[in-house]
Amino acid sequence: MYQLRAVDKKFPGVHALKAVDFEIRRGEIVGLVGENGAGKSTLMKVIYGAYQPDAGTISVDGKSVRFQNPRQAMEKGIGMVFQEQSLIPNLTVMENIFLGYEQQFVRLGVINWQAMSSAARQQLAKVKLDIDPATVTSALSFAQRQLVELAKVLTLEERVDGDLVILLDEPTSVLAEDEVKMLFTIVRDLTKRASFIFVSHRMDEVMELSDRIYVMKDGAVVDVVAHGAATVGQIQHKMVGRSVDREYYREQRQKPYDAANVLLEMDGIALPGRIRDISLTLHAGEVLCLVGTEGAGREAILRTIYGMRTPVSGTLKIKGNVIRTFNPQAAVAAGVGYVPRERKVEGIVAGMTVYENMTLSQMGRYSRAGVLNVAAEKALARDWIARLSIKAHSEYADCGNLSGGNQQKVVLSKWRSGGSDIMLLDHPTRGLDIGAKEDVYEMIRDMSDDGVGVILVADTLEEAIGLSHSIIVLKDGTIQQRFDCKPGAKPTLYDLLHFMI
Amino acid sequence: MDLQRLKPHFPWITLLVLVAFVGMTDPNFLRPANLLSLAGDIVPLFIMALGLTFAIYIGGIDLSAQSMANMITVVASAYLASLGLWVAALCVVLGFGLGLLSGFITTRLFVPSFISTLAVGGVCFSAAQWLSGNRALNMDADQRDALFGWMIGRTGIIPNELFIAAALLAVCLFIERRTTLGRALKAVGAGELAAAASGLNVTRYKMLAFAVSGALAAIAGLLFSVKLSGGAPTIANGFLLPAIVAVLVGGTPLTGGVGGVLNTAIGTMIVAVIRASMLYFGVQATQQQMVFGLVLIVAIALTIDRSKLRTVK
């Protein structure tokens, strides 16, 4: 009933979707998997009308359609449940459910709250959520909000004729195990009302729930797998184009770290509402991975070390010195480098050249009495462009126009050239294609060889296991478990998951 | 795509088109003497716009510039007799300090710059009224000529103001292109979060941008009072709008990060030509601000980088 034919989408420098065919039938649950940057989110945005394809056709029940915006897609019955929850926290549940569609309850310019409340109750019943519709949304748990969001999308049922297609983008990422089970039961139950597209990183969940799974890689659909027709390993193989093996993560290059050389020590660090009693040690040449769900405290730890947050208790020692004032200037001076998750927002400055970006953290070294030595800056940039084979036409290239992988190389060389020996990497491979990822893995091993200590928040658990010397599992802001990850004796996904959830 | 590539060149193309247009309607306009005197007259406004560029370059605004200049005309007139040449230093320090105050309010108290500078501007304006007793003050003509006469004379046929303008432009251009301060301001304007995540002391640089803006507004006020040989709390009224127009039509958008002081030089010339052409076309002085208001709206709408704005309030 809902079909994409040969849909193509290009962005400057990226061919995001390559002739994608996609189809969903009535009452079906279709899984969508692929690595970050494989084109999943672009495809979803095309489906719910946020992007318009450059080529190809979209048809609903055989009729060709073209959506200018998500609202038009909704009028055809296509709804989206957002990963970053889209409910407005200070409104009540019912206000959120009918946001933008209050008109039906208005009499003489006044909202009939009782009518809205009973209509909201009906919607909530569809997702088996028994709460007062007048509850303020911020008082709900994450799982409840997810269901409210689903209920909100299900109001389409009354508003449009024809079938519903509902996209679920990583709906389980913040849910506990039993909540996931409950959600799945509800979704299965709802297939009599709607079809679902289910996007998740958690392969086992996708395999459990979906009738068919679309596997994407580098902007193309590489396979469509029917329920039960493939194992997790086989699908992963299709996603990355080869089996996820030790070579991919450069495990053969993993050498023991220098246990005598402690670079950083955290003892009982706490940030109210984020992390509690965090103690960890980072050695020279070590890759220490922080593992946990979103909000488990990984980012808070990185940001504390980088001085962007001031802990209320505990001590942080960098190379033996106790840190008393927490700000990024002091951290940079102590040799800390930070590669933030939001590369385009915090990593590079779009609109500035490669050389300007590379020296941004170390202008003092390239200036005298506040006057910059631009020639030296350019020489540095040329050197690192050659060393990391950064694809930029010259040191004058605008960083905003580079591809993600090359932007990341600029960020890394910014810190490496400044001699940072404690590197904080937050999702350094997010959104990169496979070649660029492997480059980053190489660089991480290079850093270890140079005696740099790396604290890594990886994009996937496999990446965390493959790259690290040690893993610390976090949950709700506390350390649950520490694993040693010697090559050949690494913990499995399930070892980690057990402590995460 | 091509339009995007052309965009940086719009300001000087606009300037050439305007000059050609006005020149065709009134051939007298293109006489060197006329152009030079036009340029000389716009210098106080240019200096103010030069300062404003720094505030706008980081994505802020300085609405206190006009009141600052007003206050400085009063301060200069009131203290010329007692302080002599030192009054210039007093003016610049005052401008720098009050700019720093605006910066402090903006960065430490998290008050958006349009309101913090509006408030500081209010303080300046009131200080000017109080200091002057709300009257126009006059400088002693002999003393002014002896100490500051060099500012407003002519060398050959070139008004001396133009040398001051060129010198200040050169200094600002050097700051913008060749110093860590300039680089940091660019980073703050183009990507403040990335600048902070690179370990720059963003707060300090932002405060400095407002301080530079204040100092240049003070210099503009000083020059203006020397030109008019006096000061009054409302003497520079009518400067703010054209100064903001000069920065924006020059190609430094309200969202910051691109453009710069050279753009403002071109923008100021555009403002000068518009102002002169209004005389030729018989637009009354009282109607000028209407035109600048409209030009400002058009300039903002054309230059602002909407990708940087999530919501506008």
Using the Cβ of A370 and the Cβ atoms of chain B, whether some distance falls under 8 Å is answered with: yes
What is the predicted pLDDT for the residue at B1? 47
What is the predicted pLDDT for the residue at A380? 95
Does any domain span residue B264? Answer: no
Using the Cβ of A358 and the Cβ atoms of chain B, whether some distance falls under 8 Å is answered with: no
Partner-chain contact B179 A361, CB within 8 Å: no
Using the Cβ of A372 and the Cβ atoms of chain B, whether some distance falls under 8 Å is answered with: yes
Q: Pick from A329, A345, A371: which is nearest to B178 by CB? A: A371
A208 and A115 in one domain?
yes
A265 and A216 in one domain?
no
Q: Pick from B179, B180, B195: which is nearest to A349 by CB? A: B195
User: Could you say which of A209, A240, A271 is where a domain stops?
Assistant: A240
Q: Nearest-CA distance from B128 to chain A in Å?
A: 35
Q: What is the pLDDT of residues B123-177, one digit of tens each?
A: 999 999 999 998 999 988 888 988 888 888 888 888 999 999 999 999 999 999 9
What is the predicted pLDDT for the residue at A246? 60
Asked whether A70 and A122 are in contact (CB, 8 A), the reply is no
User: Could you say which of A193, A221, A240 is where a domain stops?
Assistant: A240
Distance of alpha carbon A97 from the chain centroid: 26
DSSP helix/strand/coil, B255: coil
- Residues of chain A neighbouring B183 (CB-CB closer than 8 A): 356, 359-360, 363, 372
Partner-chain contact A329 B258, CB within 8 Å: no
A270 and A146 in one domain?
no
- In this model, does residue A473 exceed pLDDT 80? yes
Using the Cβ of A329 and the Cβ atoms of chain B, whether some distance falls under 8 Å is answered with: yes
Q: Pick from B178, B199, B257: which is nearest to A351 by CB? A: B257
Arithmetic mean of pLDDT, A128-132: 89
Cβ-based neighbours of B230, under 8 Å, separated by 6 or more: B73, B77, B136, B137, B138, B139
Q: What is the pLDDT of residues A196-237, one digit of tens each?
A: 999 887 778 888 899 999 998 888 898 898 888 888 778 877
B310: confidence class by pLDDT, cuts 50, 70, 90? low
Q: DSSP for B129-153, please give it.
A: HHHHTTS-EE--HHHHHHHHHHHHS
For A39, A233, A456, A459, B240, the CA distances from A20, given in Å and listed in that order, are 10, 24, 34, 25, 55
- Residues of chain B neighbouring A347 (CB-CB closer than 8 A): 194, 197
Does any domain span residue A132? Answer: yes
Using the Cβ of B204 and the Cβ atoms of chain A, whether some distance falls under 8 Å is answered with: no
What is the predicted pLDDT for the residue at B309? 65
Using the Cβ of A55 and the Cβ atoms of chain B, whether some distance falls under 8 Å is answered with: no
Residue B182's domain spans which residues?
A: 39-237+252-257
A169-178, A455-464, B183-192: the lowest-pLDDT one = A169-178
Partner-chain contact A345 B194, CB within 8 Å: yes
- In this model, does residue A242 exceed pLDDT 60? no
Which is more confident, A163 or B101?
B101
A37 and A64 in one domain?
yes
For A236, B98, B168, the CA distances from A434, given in Å and listed in that order, are 13, 53, 51
Partner-chain contact B197 A328, CB within 8 Å: yes
What is the predicted pLDDT for the residue at A450? 92
Using the Cβ of B171 and the Cβ atoms of chain A, whether some distance falls under 8 Å is answered with: no
- With a pLDDT cut of 70, the percent of chain A lying above it is 96
- In this model, does residue A150 exceed pLDDT 80? yes
For A193, A448, A487, B44, the CA distances from A286, given in Å and listed in that order, are 52, 6, 13, 60
Number of domains present in the structure of chain B: 1
A220 and A272 in one domain?
no
Whether this prediction's pTM lies above 0.90 is answered by no
Number of domains present in the structure of chain A: 2
Q: Nearest-CA distance from B195 to chain A in Å?
A: 7
Residue of A nearest to B184 (CA): A360
Partner-chain contact B195 A414, CB within 8 Å: no
Q: Pick from B181, B194, B257: which is nearest to A346 by CB? A: B194
What is the predicted pLDDT for the residue at A281? 94
Q: Pick from A332, A342, A372: which is nearest to B199 by CB? A: A332
Q: What is the pLDDT of residues A89-119, one digit of tens each?
A: 899 999 999 988 888 888 888 989 999 999 9
Burial of B307 (0-12, 13-18, 19+ CB in 10 A): exposed
A35 and A172 in one domain?
yes
Does any domain span residue B298? Answer: no
User: What's the length of chain A?
Assistant: 501
A172 and A96 in one domain?
yes
Mean pLDDT for chain B overall? 91
Arithmetic mean of pLDDT, A35-41: 76
What is the predicted pLDDT for the residue at A36? 64
Does any domain span residue B20? Answer: no
Does any domain span residue B19? Answer: no
Q: Nearest-CA distance from A299 to chain B in Å?
A: 13
A241: confidence class by pLDDT, cuts 50, 70, 90? low
Residue of B nearest to A415 (CA): B198
Residue B25 structure tokens: 């309607």
A441 and A309 in one domain?
yes
A163-177, A303-317, A347-361, A453-467: the lowest-pLDDT one = A163-177
Partner-chain contact A372 B180, CB within 8 Å: yes
Q: Which of B60, B131, B62 is nearest to B95 (CA)?
A: B62
Arithmetic mean of pLDDT, A462-484: 91
Does any domain span residue B278? Answer: no
Q: What residue type is A487 in one-letter code?
A: P
- Residues of chain A neighbouring B108 (CB-CB closer than 8 A): none
Residue of A nearest to B258 (CA): A351
What is the predicted pLDDT for the residue at B221? 96
- In this model, does residue B86 exceed pLDDT 60? yes
Q: Pick from B183, B200, B257: which is nearest to A372 by CB? A: B183
Q: Which of B67, B46, B53, B55 is nearest to B247 (CA)?
A: B53
Does any domain span residue A355? Answer: no
User: Could you say which of A240, A274, A299 is where a domain stops?
Assistant: A240
A103 and A71 in one domain?
yes
Does any domain span residue A70? Answer: yes
Helix (H) or strand (E) holding A415: helix A404-417
Residue of B nearest to A367 (CA): B180
Arithmetic mean of pLDDT, B49-69: 96
Does any domain span residue A111? Answer: yes
Does any domain span residue B266? Answer: no
- In this model, does residue A243 exceed pLDDT 60? no
Residue of B nearest to A349 (CA): B191
Partner-chain contact A346 B257, CB within 8 Å: no
What is the predicted pLDDT for the residue at A172? 78
What is the predicted pLDDT for the residue at B120? 97
Partner-chain contact B190 A350, CB within 8 Å: yes
- Residues of chain A neighbouring B194 (CB-CB closer than 8 A): 345-349, 360
Does any domain span residue A286? Answer: yes
- Residues of chain A neighbouring B190 (CB-CB closer than 8 A): 349-352
Using the Cβ of A374 and the Cβ atoms of chain B, whether some distance falls under 8 Å is answered with: yes
Q: Pick from A340, A356, A363: which is nearest to B197 by CB? A: A340
- With a pLDDT cut of 70, the percent of chain B lying above it is 96
Give the alpha-carbon dihedral of A479, A482, A485, A488, to 10 degrees: -130
Residue A73's domain spans which residues?
A: 2-240
Cβ-based neighbours of B45, under 8 Å, separated by 6 or more: B220, B239, B242, B243, B246, B268, B271
A147-156, B44-53, B129-138, B213-222: the lowest-pLDDT one = A147-156
Residue of A nearest to B256 (CA): A351
Q: Is the dihedral of CA A366, A371, A377, A379 positive or negative?
A: negative
Any idea what DSSP says for residue A472?
A: E
Q: How far apart are CA B262 and CA B30, in angstroms?
A: 23
Partner-chain contact A363 B201, CB within 8 Å: no
Using the Cβ of B308 and the Cβ atoms of chain A, whether some distance falls under 8 Å is answered with: no
A132-136, A490-494, B193-197: the lowest-pLDDT one = A490-494
Partner-chain contact A360 B183, CB within 8 Å: yes
A248: confidence class by pLDDT, cuts 50, 70, 90? confident
Partner-chain contact A348 B190, CB within 8 Å: no
Partner-chain contact A371 B197, CB within 8 Å: no
Does any domain span residue A390? Answer: no
A341 and A289 in one domain?
yes
Q: Which of A222, A173, A208 is nearest to A434 (CA)?
A: A222
- In this model, does residue B7 exceed pLDDT 90? no
Does any domain span residue B176? Answer: yes
Which of A472-486, B92-106, B241-255 has maximum average pLDDT?
B92-106
Q: Pick from A329, A352, A374: which is nearest to B190 by CB? A: A352
What is the predicted pLDDT for the residue at A271? 92
Arithmetic mean of pLDDT, A485-490: 84
For A18, A59, A223, A471, B9, the CA distances from A249, given in Å and listed in that order, are 27, 42, 25, 15, 48
- In this model, does residue A295 exceed pLDDT 80? no
End-to-end CA distance of chain A: 37
Indicate which CATH number applies to the domain containing A127.
3.40.50.300
Using the Cβ of A335 and the Cβ atoms of chain B, whether some distance falls under 8 Å is answered with: no
Q: Nearest-CA distance from B181 to chain A in Å?
A: 7
Q: What is the pLDDT of residues A411-435, one digit of tens each?
A: 999 999 988 999 999 999 887 777 7
What is the predicted pLDDT for the residue at A142? 79
Q: What angle do CA A377, A382, A386 make, to 5 degrees?
A: 150
Best probe of the A interface among B57, B198, B200, B208, by most A CBs < 10 A, is B198
Asked whether A371 and A340 are in contact (CB, 8 A), the reply is no
Does any domain span residue B290? Answer: no
Best probe of the B interface among A348, A363, A417, by most B CBs < 10 A, is A363
What is the predicted pLDDT for the residue at B226? 94
Q: What angle do CA A300, A246, A473 make, to 5 degrees?
A: 25
For A33, A84, A226, B22, the CA distances from A30, given in Å and listed in that order, are 10, 21, 9, 66
Partner-chain contact A349 B184, CB within 8 Å: no
A37: confidence class by pLDDT, cuts 50, 70, 90? low
Alpha helices in chain B (DSSP H): 2-6, 10-25, 32-57, 65-83, 86-108, 113-132, 141-152, 160-178, 180-197, 202-228, 240-250, 261-280, 288-303
Q: What is the pLDDT of residues A323-338, one digit of tens each?
A: 999 999 999 999 999 9
Q: What is the pLDDT of residues B100-136, one digit of tens each?
A: 999 999 999 999 999 999 999 999 999 999 999 989 9
Instruction: Give this complex's ipTM.
Output: 0.88
